């Protein structure tokens, strides 16, 4: 899901998304992880963010935005 490289770089499978604020958010996730498609709580949203968030289409797009490619039904669970 995530790795810290030489205490300088954090790499995530997907991205930071709307819920990751610090490394402890990831470290404190209960294991084993449950990956769901229908998010019903903050922990599930954090996991979905880490796994499926994408970068924005270009550097001029700031902030968190809906990801209509990965979330075509508009649930708002997957962002870029």
Over residues 53-75, the pLDDT tens digits come to 888 888 898 888 888 887 777 78
pLDDT higher than threshold 80 for residue 26: yes
Residues 6+ positions from 53 with CB-CB distance below 8 Å: 12, 14, 15, 16, 17, 18, 67, 78, 79, 80
| Prediction pTM value | 0.79
How confident is residue 33, by pLDDT bands cut at 50, 70 and 90? Answer: very high
Domain of residue 76 covers: 1-80
Total structural domains in the chain?
A: 1
């Amino acid at each position: 899901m995530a790795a810290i490289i030489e205490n300088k770089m954090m790499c995530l499978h997907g991205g930071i998304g709307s819920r990751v604020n610090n490394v402890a958010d990831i470290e404190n996730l209960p294991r084993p992880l449950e990956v769901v498609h229908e998010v019903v709580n903050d922990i599930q949203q954090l996991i979905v963010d880490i796994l499926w968030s994408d970068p924005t289409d270009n550097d001029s797009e700031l902030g968190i935005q809906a990801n209509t490619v990965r979330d075509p039904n508009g649930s708002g669970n997957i962002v870029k």
